[in-house]
Amino acid sequence: MIKRLLFVAAAALFMTVAWTKSTAVGQDSDPKPTLRIAVVSADPSNDLCKTMTANFDGVKLCRSLDEAIALKNDVKGVMILADGYPTQRTRVTPEQVEALLSSDVRVYIEYPENNDALGITGYGDGKAMESARGVVVDSDKLQTPLYSLLYVNGALFPTKPFDAAKVGAKDNNVWLVAAKVAGYDVAEYALNDAASYVLLEENGRVLTAATKFSQWISARYAPDERYQKFWASVLTWLNHDDPAPVMTYKPAVSPARAKDATLSKEDYIDAARRNSDWFFNTGFLLSDTDEKAYGALRESRDYSLHVDKTCDGRNGVIETFSSGTRFNPDGSQKIRFLKRADCNGEVAGALALAYRSTGNERYRDAAYNLVDWLLRESSLSGGPRADAKSPQYGFLDWDDGPATPEQYYGDDNARAILGLIEAISVLGKDGEQFRQRLLEIIIANFRTTGVNGFRGNNIHASALEKNGWKFFYDREITNFAPHFEAMLWACYLWAYEHTGWEPLLQRTKIGIALTMDAYEQDQWRWTNGLQQERAKMILPLAWLVRLEPTEQHEQWLRQIVGDVMTFQDETGGIQERLGKGQGLFGSFKSNPAYGGAEGPIIQNNGDPCVDNLYTQPFAFLGLTEAARATSNDANRKEYETYLRKLTDFVVRTQQVSDVYPEFDGVWFRGFDYDKWETYGSDGDLEWGVWTTETGWTEAWLSGCVSLRVLDACVWELSESMDMTDDFATVKEIMLKEIADDEPHDSSR
């Protein structure tokens, strides 16, 4: 957080100029409206100070309240901003109160101490916003529908309970409350069973804000349109109800391009380059300094990363900025300071592809270092995973956190495998040394995959040690959950192409066939949403068509692609959708449940939001492969049309910032294509709307953009990898118990 404050200070002058130039519409040719309001703040970089002076004439900036009081006969309103936030509440002396009340000015005050004379009473100790959001309880005052939601990320506020029965009552003087409520744009269940606290209330000539709303730009409060109405309402009230125009401003972090921007190949290259640079510019590729402190800092999740020349992948990459409850009072985000196998493999692949698409050797070097670290240096592949006598041999552990036991999610291993395939392919001769280890990861997962082609969501190390791997290989389970199964099927099909070992194909075909039959019967078990299940099925179906382009396989692929892309918006984004029932992590069914578990970023089907964590990256990857896998001309043209629109959407919605390098070049999990900004239901316990997962999100969106630049796909990129000798070695080590009684296609 200290580092972020330095960013703000260093950029203050730039921000003042940039916002001033970009805020008031037509200000070069049209006169600005006049607003006779005094704004009290000793901080010239305060968002409200800059935005008001850029939009209006007549605004008086005062460094002290006494200076503003001296202007009381020349202004209609006084705004006292929370310079001491969050450590010190705003104080008004008795003498200042008397002077203010002796005039007819109206007063807006932020984060105040209780003050009986000003009618500011009943506020208790400070409370963090956490999962709570702003909820509109006076729609007339805020020009926004009742129960509309506003994010006040990480805000700290003194508590004053609000009685929900007052909503709509004539004596209600509260405009906005803080409450933990379920919903997307509005509180789905009103304020039922939700403790709520006053955020904005009117008492006579005083409008009290319980927190620092004046930092709404730098703290990235959302959505923009509602904050424009929020400030128009506040300024109108201060202006003695004479309507104040809506202010315009440049968000601190925003989409790279407009909704209808025309794009070129160079725009694609720029997106891949910007995202790749992000890993270095933020220190998510751990520096030597951070690596030395890693053990002590891993669980803190409140640490500023160092950025220096040693950020080159040799120490691995950490996971993400967290969302949901993990905001600081200034709007910055805490870090999940963990190294995950999937993220490291995926980022290696994306950086390798970025090297190909941009020519930047730095990306190639980092990709090599990440592969080397993951497969030879890290605990994620060490210990029992490097012991050929252990049933855990070959696996990649989920993460290196001491709080999580050794466990092997198939989907996490699969994403690491796919990223490693990309990286090792691009590395050429330098990647050959990693091929055997790559096959070992695939076979470790396959030899715990049952006779029907299913592995189950997760296998713990304790179960492997107790039962041995052959127990899982002989199981007759089904698991109609593509989120957990489908990407491993893609890995098995790829391995079959490069080894010719028949069980890889046969068990995968059984699993896919049973899953597609279950889809027809509406029996899929969805996780955070149905779209993510469909999206992940595209890749294995595309590669099955590669291997066996039968009418049945083409039909399956066409069916799933069609069902995903039915919900492609005209902007190119893929709308998130929920399935029937609750799912493993469905939308929140009560206010108390919100923020207490993993969950989707929509509340109901129809919410105009894409999911860049669970759905869109994998639809992007699947479509990239499907468009080049099918030999059906009509299908290929259809897939290519979907893919072109989706690529443009991804490039347009990449986030950019002149202020915060930690968010320049990322994609956040949730994006609302109507509002054209980062937005959604942020109730997921930690991977919410503002998550920036290095693997799942960044790596696949960036990597697929690079593939588009290269006019390539993963299957073709890796087709020259000769795995024959490597597989012979792996089979001898890992498949002795089944190699003799399973069919093998020796002609491949």
Residues 711-716 have a mean pLDDT of 98
- The predicted pLDDT at position 301 comes to 57
Identify whether 733 is part of a domain: yes
Identify whether 743 is part of a domain: no
Could you tell me if 554 and 674 lie in one domain?
yes
d(CA 565, CA 567): 5
Identify whether 14 is part of a domain: yes
Final residue before a domain boundary, out of 233, 252, 271:
252
Could you tell me if 539 and 474 lie in one domain?
yes
- The predicted pLDDT at position 29 comes to 58
- How many residues comprise the chain? 748
With residue 365 as reference, give the H or E element that holds it. helix 361-372
Could you tell me if 71 and 19 lie in one domain?
yes
Could you tell me if 272 and 132 lie in one domain?
no
**HEC sequence for 314-358:** CCCECCEECCCCCECCCCCECEECCCEHHHHHHHHHHHHHHHHHH
- What are 606-618's pLDDT values in tens digits? 999 999 999 999 9
With residue 6 as reference, give the H or E element that holds it. helix 2-22
- What are 546-563's pLDDT values in tens digits? 999 999 999 999 999 999
Q: Does residue 534 register a pLDDT over 90?
A: yes
Question: Which CATH number does the domain housing residue 534 bear?
Answer: 1.50.10.10
- What are 79-122's pLDDT values in tens digits? 999 999 999 999 999 999 999 999 999 999 999 999 999 999 99
Q: Does residue 446 register a pLDDT over 70?
A: yes
- The predicted pLDDT at position 404 comes to 78
d(CA 569, CA 572): 5
Confidence band of 7 (pLDDT split at 50, 70, 90)? very low
Could you tell me if 649 and 630 lie in one domain?
yes
The answer to whether 691 and 323 have CB atoms below 8 angstroms apart is yes
Q: Does residue 198 register a pLDDT over 80?
A: yes
d(CA 192, CA 190): 6
Confidence band of 588 (pLDDT split at 50, 70, 90)? very high
Least confident of 9-23, 236-250, 727-741: 9-23
- The predicted pLDDT at position 324 comes to 84
Q: Does residue 747 register a pLDDT over 70?
A: no
d(CA 96, CA 90): 13
Task: Tell me 304's DSSP state.
Answer: P
- What are 497-508's pLDDT values in tens digits? 999 999 999 999
Identify whether 222 is part of a domain: yes
Least confident of 9-23, 154-168, 469-483, 658-672: 9-23
d(CA 628, CA 626): 5
Could you tell me if 423 and 443 lie in one domain?
yes
Confidence band of 1 (pLDDT split at 50, 70, 90)? very low
Q: Does residue 424 register a pLDDT over 50?
A: yes
- The predicted pLDDT at position 217 comes to 98
Could you tell me if 245 and 271 lie in one domain?
no
Encoded tokens for 610: 């894409």
Confidence band of 605 (pLDDT split at 50, 70, 90)? very high
pTM of the full structure: 0.94
Q: Does residue 742 register a pLDDT over 60?
A: no
CA angle 55–57–63, rounded 5-degree value: 95
Owner of token pair 């029937």: 580
Residues 200-220 have a mean pLDDT of 98
- What are 338-388's pLDDT values in tens digits? 999 999 999 999 999 999 999 999 999 999 999 999 999 999 999 999 999
Confidence band of 302 (pLDDT split at 50, 70, 90)? low
Q: Which of 702, 37, 732 is nearest to 357 (CA)?
A: 702
Domain enclosing residue 478, as ranges: 255-738
Could you tell me if 263 and 248 lie in one domain?
no
Could you tell me if 236 and 270 lie in one domain?
no
Identify whether 747 is part of a domain: no
Q: Does residue 636 register a pLDDT over 60?
A: yes
Q: Which of 218, 257, 189 is nearest to 43 (CA)?
A: 218
Identify whether 426 is part of a domain: yes
Identify whether 181 is part of a domain: yes
- What are 219-249's pLDDT values in tens digits? 999 999 999 999 999 999 999 999 999 999 9
Q: Does residue 23 register a pLDDT over 80?
A: no
Report percent pLDDT > 70 for the chain. Answer: 94
- The predicted pLDDT at position 18 comes to 36
* Average pLDDT of the residues of the chain: 93
Question: Which CATH number does the domain housing residue 218 bear?
Answer: 3.40.50
- The predicted pLDDT at position 30 comes to 78
- The predicted pLDDT at position 191 comes to 98
**Inter-CA distances, 50 with 43, 54, 286, 517, Å:** 10, 6, 36, 60
Q: Which residues contact 30 (CB under 8 A, 6 or more apart)?
A: none
Could you tell me if 274 and 419 lie in one domain?
yes
The answer to whether 579 and 519 have CB atoms below 8 angstroms apart is no
Final residue before a domain boundary, out of 208, 230, 252:
252
d(CA 417, CA 423): 10
Packing angle of the helix pair 341-358, 361-372 (nearest 10 deg): 160
Residues 274-303 have a mean pLDDT of 84
- The predicted pLDDT at position 480 comes to 98
Q: Does residue 477 register a pLDDT over 50?
A: yes
- The predicted pLDDT at position 739 comes to 61
Could you tell me if 238 and 266 lie in one domain?
no
With residue 201 as reference, give the H or E element that holds it. strand 196-203
Residue with the larger pLDDT of the pair 294 and 599: 599
Residues 148-154 have a mean pLDDT of 97
Owner of token pair 């730039």: 14
Task: Tell me 144's DSSP state.
Answer: S
Identify whether 559 is part of a domain: yes
Final residue before a domain boundary, out of 252, 274, 300:
252
Could you tell me if 38 and 113 lie in one domain?
yes
Number of folded domains in the chain?
Answer: 2
